[in-house]
Amino acid sequence: MRHRLRHALPLALLLGSSPLQANTLPGLEQAVRQQLNEVFSTAALLSNTEAITLGFVNFDPNEFLPIDDPDFGDENSVELRNELTVYTLPWSWHLTGFQGGDLGLTARLSYVRSKQELSLFPLEDATVDLNDDTIYTLFVQPTYRYPLSKHWQLQFGLGGYLMRYDNDFSFRNSVSRQLQPQLDNRLTNIEVNAWMVQPELRVDYRFERGRAYWHYRSAFAYTWGRTFDEPGPLVSADPESWRWLNGVSMRRPFPAGLPDQDYRLSLSRIDINGDTVRPFDTHYYYEFSAEWLLNTRGKVPLLDDVGVGLLVNYGSALKGASLIFVYNVD
């Protein structure tokens, strides 16, 4: 599974078998388009913290629990998680009431980086090349939320992405260095921009039972876009994907001896299709989290709560467990 996600980022891997034929290789333009489609679609999914989360310490649960299930993680998936760096800063604002509902605005800034050592020609020269991919993303989404009843809410959003992909490839291998004049500024060491639109429909169900607060959510989003300011006609793409998230969470205060502290459990299933399927090597996966939260509302500006937790990804190329840091949890 690790190889699927890795191949979604470094464009140089497209030419792993016969890059000297780059100008005449059949299907090269289609392969480049597919790779770029996966780059932008994958970055959009990785930056959506509801759909997938990476932590600051990654490990394989099979090493600590007697489960022996490869879909919980393995050595390769943990290594892949460690090679990915994802930072996302989300914001949300309530703007005004409208037609019995509420207008709001959601925004995210994100940074996704994948840095790998690549051995493209191990038989000729064992020296590895270095590939460094970075995707910067700005996401803005106006939303309209309408209460269907005391517990049910319907929300529609129309979001837009502005993305920039930077590839930094270091030719260190004696064979790959011969290809650098043909590849540089065409397939490697390039910058590509893209825009994407994302309509999203979401349903939330919230209720309290005893001291516990329950939340069910179902959100479907379709994403499509195009590249612009490409470095050449070969490097163009039209990424397209969709995701459907269904999740349930329970939040409950700790006993009186631990004031202003809650614990939260959540389980989500995320179905995906389009250009994210091959990188994640699946059509669906699960995420489970257990979090310890400190309530800071009214004590720390802009923070309602902050905490740490354990998150498990099951069934995708990023399967495994992580320690996570969370804030402003619903």
Residue range 275-305, pLDDT digits in tens: 999 999 999 999 999 999 998 887 877 778 8
- Statement: residue 7 has pLDDT above 60: no
Task: Tell me the CATH number of domain 26-327, given options 2.40.128, 4.10.280, 1.10.3470, 3.40.190.
Answer: 2.40.128
Residue range 243-252, pLDDT digits in tens: 999 999 999 9
Over residues 65-92, the mean pLDDT reads 82
pLDDT at 316 (0 to 100) = 92
Query: Predicted confidence band at 11 (pLDDT cuts at 50, 70, 90)?
Result: very low
Please report where in the chains the tokens 């994403």 appear, as a residue.
223
Residue range 303-316, pLDDT digits in tens: 788 889 999 999 99
Q: Which residue has the higher pLDDT, 155 or 298?
A: 155
Least confident of 20-29, 213-222, 234-243: 20-29
Token digits for 308?
A: 């740490």
Edge to edge, what strands does the sheet with 240-253 contain?
A: 57-59, 320-327, 303-314, 284-300, 261-274, 240-253, 212-228, 191-209, 152-170, 129-147, 101-118, 84-98
Q: Which residue has the higher pLDDT, 267 or 80?
A: 267
Query: Predicted confidence band at 53 (pLDDT cuts at 50, 70, 90)?
Result: low
Total-model pTM: 0.86
Separation between Cα atoms, residue 252 and residue 20, nearest integer Å: 61
Residue range 98-152, pLDDT digits in tens: 989 999 999 999 999 988 888 778 878 888 888 899 999 999 999 999 999 999 9
Query: Predicted confidence band at 272 (pLDDT cuts at 50, 70, 90)?
Result: very high
- Statement: residue 93 has pLDDT above 60: yes
* 227: CB partners within 8 A, 6+ apart: 36, 40, 192, 193, 194, 235, 236, 237, 238
Reference 158, options 177, 173, 143; nearest CA is: 143
pLDDT at 1 (0 to 100) = 35
- Residue 298, by phi and psi: left (phi above 0), alpha (psi -120 to 50) or beta? left
pLDDT at 68 (0 to 100) = 76
What residue ranges do the domains of the chain occupy?
26-327
| Rounded percentage of the chain residues whose pLDDT exceeds 90 | 48
